[in-house]
């Protein structure tokens, strides 16, 4: 039966029977012969059926099985690889083994009670002599093969060694590397071309590094390390070959068991046959690869350790060999390239969706897509530090691998008082951000910059082409509008536009109130000869009182440092009319802040943080999503409600919550309670950190002075003016 051949196939694939490790073993040549027979038999259903019914002799096709040498020369590289790897000896050994198999079938064999073959002294002597002859022929064939490969390799490396003036000759190195890559691109088109190139390239590069490290490091310690790596590779490949043989054996056993049970459908039979053929070919290649790498290691040693060349020439050969090996290793299969391109396109699409989700408007989205398609890291500029709404988007940006730069202009108070921006001095820009008073997710390193000469010159150029009308229009939403505005307010939109160029960003991010400044930048930067950037805008959250959120109305907004009782009081007073979903600040806070943060936490729990693997590592306090225990899968926000009133509500989207509120299935009191609880959970760790940081408290006091506080009285010192200083004042 076919299955009886499998255990022997597995044993002959083990490294102890490999000819490169057992050149004097007369039985090593028989390895893989069953695989060759099985592969061809399983590829032809008629042959496999004849094999199981009549045995191997009767199952042979007309004219015998395909010549193993033809199989190897056709499947593994073809003639174009012969100058690089030679003729694979495994094919000849399999051919001889198949011939011997036919002779054994015709010879009468005597066995003892244990089934062991009984050999006469003459037969034993004949076999030993034959084994010695075969071993001698194999050794001679290998020596001749290595000799020819050495000649071919030296000739190929001479393109570099005869032109380079030193191992560090950059021009010759790049030229030779280009030649090697062109050759590799042609060779990869052959059958198993990429796999063979990787096998050859690994040996070339590993041997070259070993030689260079041995000759350039103290006591050759670097070479010892590469030698260990090489031995590990051999062991790993051997184990991989044995594992492949075991997988093949498993498929054979499945076929046999299914046929004996008689319940194998034609479709299942074909699937198993194709699987066995595929695994058989894979096992054959792994065995051939072991042989090829063994021969090439000896070839490289001969090339690099040639006693007839000076040490300098040997070093040049090693450098060239490493370049050649790396070129071979760099090739990829066309299907791998297509898959990587597809994966890159998919990854780019996923990143774009992450960057743009939950935004109100995107201007120039194609510009961001182009950056992602190139595989480049997008750069974002955030000109206005806000609160939770933009911070959730920063989390998305970081997950998408975006490099974010934010503007910190003196203080938040100065930032809102645009007429004071120039009095405060040049703005400081910082990369997200290890600033002591920013939230932990932003602590990535402060990078202060000053206004450069080029920046100022471009500002003058901008002033020469921007009209007063356009400057006022651009800053209408963010610059204080007065009857007689200061010049600083007119300059501000231009400065923010120039930031895009001098921070080399790909897109600028801000609230939708920044839209006019963004369109200003899109209009005027190209007029200065600079590229247009994309612009992303998050929605503006209505105030809790029902109108626009304003810093002048404390009850319309939630501050980072609000105490729990203050939060609950503000939410309790908030406009939240039953069934009214328009201008509802509480609902808007759920949509813009609470649900996005809850979603981020759920994704973090699942490890879906993309490029920001450290997300949440420095976070303090309760980091669980706003979901009650026992909520259905997919819930993003839960609202506790007593069973008397229908039990708790669970929502997977804001649309569901909004619809329930509109239909009056969700009462304002229940909504307010859930929102207040969630906000308190958010703010508690921030407030606790603030209470423990005296420096932060001082900064907060300076940035947001108490308007009701009485100014401290200071004693006025009597001015004293010396005669000299008076004279200086007069002279000035």
pLDDT of residue 265: 74
pLDDT of residue 615: 80
Residue 333: count of CB within 10 angstroms of its CB: 13
CB 384 within 8 A of CB 492: no
Instruction: Answer whether residue 359 shows pLDDT above 70.
Output: yes
How confident is the model over 530-544, as a mean pLDDT? 91
Backbone angles phi, psi at 45, to 5 degrees: -55, -35
Beta partners for residue 361, in sequence order = 537
Q: Is 187 exposed, middle or buried (0-12, 13-18, 19+ CB in 10 A)?
A: buried
- Tokens, residue 309: 């060349």
Instruction: Answer whether residue 685 shows pLDDT above 50.
Output: yes
Higher per-residue pLDDT: 559 or 639: 639
Backbone angles phi, psi at 97, to 5 degrees: -65, -40
Which of 239-243, 433-437, 641-645, 664-668 is predicted least confidently?
433-437
pLDDT of residue 481: 76
- Tokens, residue 674: 């859930």
Which of 61-70, 128-137, 280-289, 303-312 is predicted least confidently?
61-70
- Tokens, residue 578: 């039953």
Q: How far is the C-alpha of 657 from the C-alpha of 653, rounded, in Å?
A: 7
Q: How far is the C-alpha of 713 from the C-alpha of 192, rounded, in Å?
A: 88
Instruction: Answer whether residue 272 shows pLDDT above 90.
Output: no
pLDDT of residue 40: 52
Which of 89-93, 163-167, 215-219, 672-676 is predicted least confidently?
215-219
Instruction: Answer whether residue 14 shows pLDDT above 60.
Output: no
Instruction: Answer whether residue 355 shows pLDDT above 70.
Output: yes
Average pLDDT, the chain: 77
Q: How far is the C-alpha of 570 from the C-alpha of 559, rounded, in Å?
A: 11
Q: How far is the C-alpha of 359 from the C-alpha of 596, rounded, in Å?
A: 11
pLDDT of residue 388: 78
Instruction: Answer whether residue 275 shows pLDDT above 90.
Output: no
pLDDT of residue 341: 62
How confident is the model over 597-603, as a mean pLDDT? 93
Query: Which domains are seen in the chain, by residue range?
Result: 2-107+121-331 (no CATH), 343-538 (3.40.50.620), 554-701 (1.10.240.10)
Higher per-residue pLDDT: 643 or 267: 643
pLDDT of residue 408: 64
CB 498 within 8 A of CB 462: yes
Using pLDDT thresholds of 50, 70 and 90, give the confidence band for residue 580. very high
Higher per-residue pLDDT: 234 or 575: 575
Give 61-127 as a 3 state SS string: CCCCCCCHHHHHHHHCCCHHHHHHHCCCHHHHHHHHHHHHHHHHHHCCCCECCCCCECCCHHHHHHH
Instruction: Answer whether residue 244 shows pLDDT above 70.
Output: no
pLDDT of residue 183: 94
What is the maximum span of the chain, computed from C-alpha positions, in angstroms? 133
Enclosing H/E stretch for 207: helix 193-216
Which of 159-168, 303-312, 472-481 is predicted least confidently?
472-481
CB 380 within 8 A of CB 396: no
Instruction: Answer whether residue 140 shows pLDDT above 80.
Output: yes
Q: At CB < 8 A and 24+ separation, what contacts does 121-130 make? A: 127/26, 128/26, 130/26
Q: How far is the C-alpha of 403 from the C-alpha of 381, rounded, in Å?
A: 9
Which of 357-361, 404-408, 436-440 is predicted least confidently?
436-440
Cα 317 to Cα 172, 203, 272, 415, distances in angstroms = 13, 14, 48, 64
Higher per-residue pLDDT: 19 or 209: 209
Find, among 356, 376, 373, the residue nearest to 364 by Cα. Answer: 356
Q: How far is the C-alpha of 266 from the C-alpha of 63, rounded, in Å?
A: 28
Which of 134-143, 247-256, 641-650, 678-687 is predicted least confidently?
247-256
- Tokens, residue 90: 């495994």
How confident is the model over 180-195, as a mean pLDDT? 90
pLDDT of residue 32: 45
Using pLDDT thresholds of 50, 70 and 90, give the confidence band for residue 630. very high
CB 651 within 8 A of CB 635: yes
Higher per-residue pLDDT: 714 or 402: 402
Which residues touch 18 (CB under 8 Å, ≥6 apart)?
28, 31, 238, 287, 290, 291
Instruction: Answer whether residue 64 shows pLDDT above 90.
Output: no
Using pLDDT thresholds of 50, 70 and 90, give the confidence band for residue 397. very high
Reduced to 3 states, what is the DSSP secondary structure of residue 264?
A: coil
- Tokens, residue 547: 């109108």
How confident is the model over 370-391, as a mean pLDDT? 84
Instruction: Answer whether residue 724 shows pLDDT above 60.
Output: no
Reduced to 3 states, what is the DSSP secondary structure of residue 588?
A: helix
Higher per-residue pLDDT: 42 or 706: 706
pLDDT of residue 712: 66
Q: How far is the C-alpha of 651 from the C-alpha of 660, rounded, in Å?
A: 10
How confident is the model over 219-233, as a mean pLDDT? 46
Q: Is 406 exposed, middle or buried (0-12, 13-18, 19+ CB in 10 A)?
A: buried
Beta partners for residue 650, in sequence order = 638
- Tokens, residue 651: 């929502």
């Amino acid at each position: 039966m076919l299955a009886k051949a499998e255990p022997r196939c597995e044993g002959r694939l083990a490294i102890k029977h490999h000819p490169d490790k057992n050149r004097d073993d007369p039985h090593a040549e028989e390895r893989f012969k069953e695989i060759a027979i099985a592969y061809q038999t399983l590829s032809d259903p008629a042959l496999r059926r004849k094999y199981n019914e009549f045995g191997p002799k009767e199952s042979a096709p007309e004219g015998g099985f395909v010549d193993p040498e033809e199989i190897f020369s056709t499947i593994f590289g073809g003639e174009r690889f012969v100058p690089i790897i030679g003729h694979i000896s495994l094919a000849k050994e399999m051919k001889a083994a198949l011939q011997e198999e036919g002779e054994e079938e015709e010879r009468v064999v005597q066995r003892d009670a244990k089934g062991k073959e009984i050999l006469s002294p003459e037969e034993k002597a004949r076999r030993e002599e034959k084994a010695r002859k075969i071993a001698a022929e194999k050794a001679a064939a290998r020596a001749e093969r290595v000799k020819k490969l050495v000649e071919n390799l030296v000739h190929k490396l001479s393109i570099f060694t005869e032109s380079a003036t030193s191992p560090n000759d950059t021009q010759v190195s790049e030229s030779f590397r280009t030649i090697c890559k062109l050759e590799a691109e042609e060779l990869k088109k052959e059958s198993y071309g990429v796999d063979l190139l990787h096998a050859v390239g690994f040996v070339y590069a590993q041997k070259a590094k070993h030689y260079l490290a041995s000759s350039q490091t103290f006591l050759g310690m670097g070479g010892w390390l590469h030698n260990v790596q090489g031995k590990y590779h051999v062991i790993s490949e051997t184990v991989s070959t044995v594992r492949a043989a075991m997988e093949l054996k498993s498929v054979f056993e499945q076929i046999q068991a299914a046929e004996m049970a008689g319940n194998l459908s034609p479709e299942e039979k074909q699937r198993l046959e194709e699987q066995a053929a595929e695994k058989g070919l894979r096992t054959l290649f792994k065995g051939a690869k072991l042989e090829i790498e063994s021969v090439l290691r000896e070839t490289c040693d001969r090339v690099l350790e040639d006693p007839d060349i000076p040490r300098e020439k040997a070093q040049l050969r090693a450098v060239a060999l490493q370049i050649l090996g790396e070129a071979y290793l760099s090739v990829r299969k066309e299907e791998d390239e297509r898959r990587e391109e597809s994966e890159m396109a998919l990854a780019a699409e996923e990143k774009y969706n992450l960057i743009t989700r939950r935004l109100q408007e995107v201007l120039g989205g194609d510009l961001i897509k182009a950056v992602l398609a190139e595989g480049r890291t997008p750069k974002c500029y955030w000109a206005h530090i806000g609160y939770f709404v933009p911070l959730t988007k920063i989390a998305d940006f970081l997950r998408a691998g975006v490099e974010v730069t934010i503007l910190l202009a003196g203080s938040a108070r100065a930032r809102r008082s645009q007429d004071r921006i120039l009095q405060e001095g040049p703005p400081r820009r910082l990369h997200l951000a290890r600033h002591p008073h920013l939230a932990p997710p932003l602590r990535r390193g402060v990078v202060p910059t000053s206004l450069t000469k080029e920046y100022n010159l471009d500002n003058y150029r901008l002033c020469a082409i921007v009209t007063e009308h356009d400057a006022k229009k651009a800053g209408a939403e963010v610059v204080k509008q007065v009857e007689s505005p200061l010049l600083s307010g007119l300059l501000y939109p231009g400065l923010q536009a120039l930031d895009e160029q001098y921070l080399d960003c790909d897109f600028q991010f801000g609230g939708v109130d920044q839209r006019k400044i963004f369109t200003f930048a899109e209009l005027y930067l190209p007029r200065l000869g600079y590229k247009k950037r994309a612009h992303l805008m998050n929605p503006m959250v209505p105030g809790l009182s029902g109108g626009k959120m304003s810093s002048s109305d404390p009850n319309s907004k939630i501050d980072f440092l609000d105490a729990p009782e203050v939060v609950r009081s503000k939410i309790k007073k908030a406009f939240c009319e039953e069934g009214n979903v328009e201008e509802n600040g509480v609902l808007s806070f759920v949509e813009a802040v609470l649900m996005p943060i809850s979603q981020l936490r759920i994704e973090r729990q699942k490890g879906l943080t993309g490029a920001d693997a450290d997300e949440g590592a420095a976070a303090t306090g309760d980091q669980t999503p706003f979901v009650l225990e026992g909520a259905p899968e997919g819930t993003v926000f839960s609202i506790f409600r007593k069973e008397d009133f229908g039990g708790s509500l669970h929502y997977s989207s804001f649309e569901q919550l909004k619809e329930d509120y509109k239909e009056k299935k969700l009462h304002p009191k229940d909504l307010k309670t859930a929102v207040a609880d969630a906000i308190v959970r958010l703010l508690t760790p921030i407030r606790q950190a603030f209470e423990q940081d005296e420096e932060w408290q001082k900064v907060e006091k300076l940035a947001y002075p108490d308007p009701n506080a009485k100014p401290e009285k200071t004693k006025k010192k009597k001015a004293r003016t010396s005669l000299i200083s008076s004279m200086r004042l007069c002279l000035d």
